[in-house]
Structure 1
Amino acid sequence: MEFETTKDVLKNPITFAEKATGKNSTLPVLSSIILTTKKQSLTIQATNLDIGVEFTIPVKVIKEGSIAVPGVLLSSVIGNIQTSKKITCSTKQGIFNIITNGDTITLNTTPQEDFPMIPVVQEGDMFTTQSKKFISGLKSVVYAASLSDIKPEFSGVYVYPQQQNLVFVATDTYRLAEKKIPEKSASSFPGIIIPHKNITEILRIFEGVDDDIAVVSNKNQISFSTETIHISSRAINTPFPNYQEIFPKTYTTEATILKQDLIDILKITNNFSDKSGRVTFTINPKIKQCFIAAQNQTTGEQVSTVDAVLSGEDASHDYNYRYILECLQYVPHDSIICKVSSDGKLVITGLGDPSFTYLVAPLMKQG
């Protein structure tokens, strides 16, 4: 094979593909990136069997062919080449050659016979959505997914249709995030759980892509495709729990707060909370006061008053401040509503906007 291109065209697809290669795999070829030239395009493929990626980019093809190159090595070389001008890549007797105006680099290749096909979900449920909307939905909730695979249903993002919306949900049982985006085309989509560790790569690859994404899924697999990008991910087929039952039916206390005020206070809290991130959130509508307090035997104590519009009964509960701070960047409004139930569950939404809902469970009181 032989082709000509530039670093700007090659760098991002190679970098993204390397992230999807298999590390410490019993199948050595999974640590490689497959390069295939055909007609006037280069196809770049990689997989770790949990997620597979494929990019098709335009290049000047001089000779068609296919080769497997160690992913980490190739990504490092392409990323550090200094030229932005023409790069010529070719293979000869199992060696991959990279020639620029200042470099001549040869890389050993690996046998590619055992490289698995990147799955294409051809028979399944499908819808098409805007890339930016879909990525926004995933980003708004993925941080709330569990990092443990002990309960698989909590280790990913559940995506399902509801009326004319596409709903994204994630929970680690200590907090829960839900984001709704308008999407009429997904009404027949049955819902699926995408593993959080694969979502990291999906977000990285589709960030900044303006094209529509075709989403196709069956029980075990889900794929995301544009004209030049294809990603296939394993799906979690353990049923997602009926999370709506977790939300309180009624609330006893409510506070409307400027989002940035709360962010600034919680950033200070980082210096005074304990290992569990404990802060005490107190709302006293009767005396019109709302404050956040944290105490650390090593560093000291913080008590911060929060300007807020208050209603309901007095309430005081402990929460992990990190859980609250982490969600605030995804509330698309300057003001937030904090509602507290009688058992201390804290629910955060944007003022007048039901598209994002976030629930935090209280910590057990100390002593």
Structure 2
Amino acid sequence: MKFKADRATLMKSLAHVQNVVEKRNTIPILANVLLLVKEGKLTIAATDLEIALVEEVAAEPLRDGAITVPAATLYEIVRRQPENAVIELDHPGGDAQLALRAGRYSTSLVALSVEEFPKLDAGKLSHNFVLSAQELRGLIDRTRFAISTEETRYYLNGIYLHAAEGQDGPVLRAVATDGHRLARVEEPLPQGAAGMPGIIVPRKTVTELRKLLDEASGEVEVALSETRIQFTIGTMKLTSKLIDGTFPDYDRVIPRGNDKILRVDKRDFNDAVGRVSAISAEKHRPVKLSLAKDLLVISAASAEQGSASEELGGDLVDYQAGPLEIGFQARYLSDVTDQIKGKVEFAFADGAAPTLVRDQEDNSAVYVLMPMRV
């Protein structure tokens, strides 16, 4: 195997695939990246047995062949080359090392045979549809903050993606919850997604997919079955196993009869929560919302640091129901309101019941927050 590639192109691709490589593993081949030159094309791939990323890279192929080398080491060597460097990688075959040359620099890397590298076949994927990169980013960004990190509840460690019936017709719905907050976001159901199984996309897959979407502007092809999902973004294919579990009936958690409505500007509310919660260094610091007609007082107290409060009223607050006091974890409040662009609409039942949160101008997303004692 032999090819030449410019440093920027090669480094960009290696940055993509090395993120998939598991940093701590007991199987040496999983720390390696696969380099394959075949039929005039260079392909770079990596896997941790749960996720696989394959990318076709612009290069000058000089000799067909394949080899694997340590991903982190190769990336670091390429990264440290001059910006305009042209890098040549050459593996003559057999047990030889991989030779790397760039200008006056040369090195060799211990290589492992491709025979040991896991097969990357995704198998048969029964459903195929297309989403714009913007739509997919929106589904991820507005739900991933609520993914659980509690490993014992593994079925909550991802985003639940499924077809559902929305207010205006069939939708593709993404849901995440950690038991303290819930996010439900939807887009019109794309052609080909009808009848798809409900699937749980793992947290790591969501994280790596979101990084790739930063560079995407066109369409993303999605193919899935009950056990796997594959995203094709330009010249990249990200394939992942799905979480084998049953997502809970989230619809039961979403309150229906909350009739005490607060509307407040997102930026003013977020800024006030940030200032008030700064009084405490506690990770799970609570803030209290005290409501009266067209008045919101946000307060927090700490036995070590003292107390703080801020009043929002006038044109900033619209609240017509009776007095109410309710507490939330400050970070959870901010995580939800960060997803909202204009006015935040809170729908309360009482100080102990789940609270419904929406964007007043966008009904495609619904959030639920569990209150806490303050």
User: CA separation in 2, counterparts of 1:36 and 1:259?
Assistant: 50
* Aligned counterpart, 1:315: 324
The equivalent residue for 1:277 is 285
**Which of 168, 175, 181 matches 1:175?**
181
Distance in 2 (alpha carbons) for counterparts of 1:88 and 1:210 = 31
Residues 232 and 270 (structure 1 numbering): CA distance in 2 closer, same or farther, change over 3 Å? same
Distance in 1, Cα, partners of 2:71 & 2:298: 49
Give the match for residue 151 of structure 2. 149
Q: Return the offset for 1:149.
A: 2.1
Assess if the C-alpha contact under 8 Å between 2:259 and 2:348 holds in 1. Answer: yes
- Once residues 42 and 211 of structure 1 are traced to their aligned partners in structure 2, the CA distance between those partners, rounded to angstroms, is 23
Q: Which residue of 2 aligns with 1:303?
A: 309
Tell me if 1:262 matches 2:275.
no
Give me the CA root mean square deviation.
1.7
Counterparts of 1:51-130 in structure 2, within 5 Å, are 51-92=51-92, 94-130=96-132
Please name the residue that 1:166 is paired with.
Answer: 172
Report the Cα distance in structure 1 between the residues aligned to 2:139 and 2:44, rounded to whole angstroms: 27
Deviation at 1:102, TM superposition (A): 4.2
Equivalent residue for 1:32? Answer: 32
Distance in structure 1 (CA, Å) of the matches to 2:56 and 2:274: 43
Given candidates 338, 341, 344, the residue that maps to 1:336 is 344
CA distance in 2, matches of 1:340, 1:230: 44
Residue of structure 2 aligned with 1:201, choices 188, 191, 208: 208
Q: For structure 1, which segment, 117-126 or 41-50, has the greater mean C-alpha deviation from structure 2 after superposition?
A: 117-126
Cα distance in 2 for residues equivalent to 1:188 and 1:73 = 44
Give secondary structure in 2 for the equivalent of 1:81: coil
Paired residues of 2:129 and 2:190 also in contact (CA < 8 A): no
Distance 2:59 2:70 in 1: 21
Q: Which amino acid aligns with 1:251?
A: N
Moved more, 236-245 or 48-57: 236-245
Matched, 1:363 2:363: no
1:298 offset after TM fit, Å? 2.2
Return the offset for 1:191: 2.1
CA distance in 2, matches of 1:269, 1:195: 35
Deviation per residue, 1:26-74 (Å, 9 max, x gap): 3210110000011332111111111111001121101111111101111
Q: Give the SS at the match of 1:237.
A: coil
Identity %: 20
Separation (CA, whole Å) in 2 of partners of 1:258 and 1:80: 47
Question: Could you say what secondary structure the match of 2:195 adopts?
Answer: coil
1:148 Cα deviation from its structure 2 partner: 1.7
Rate the CA distance shift 1:275–1:57 in 2: closer, same or farther, 3 A: closer
> What one-letter code is carried by the residue in structure 2 that aligns with 1:357?
V
Q: Is the 8 A contact 1:7 1:84 kept in 2?
A: yes
**1:243-254 mapped onto 2 (5 Å cutoff):** 243-254=250-261
Are the aligned partners of 1:141 and 1:179 in contact in 2 as well (CA < 8 Å)? yes
Could you report, residue by residue, the CA deviation over 1:89-144 in whole angstroms, capped at 9, with x for unpaired residues?
Answer: 21246222222224223222123322111132423222121122112211211110
Moved over 6 A (4+): none
Structure 1 residue runs without a partner (length 5+): none
SS of match in other structure, 2:258: coil
Structure 2 Cα separation of the partners of residues 275 and 120 of structure 1: 41
> Could you tell me how far apart the structure 1 residues matched to 2:111 and 2:276 are?
52
Equivalent residues of 2:230, 2:237 under 8 A apart: yes
Residue 227 of structure 1 deviates from its aligned partner by 4.5
Which amino acid in 1 is paired with 2:37?
Answer: T
Structure 2 unaligned segments of length 5 or more: list them.
none
Distance in 1, matches of 2:195 and 2:81, equals 47
Which residue identity is paired with 1:267? G
TM-score after normalising by structure 2:
0.92
Give the Cα separation in 2 of the matches to 1:209 and 1:309. 39
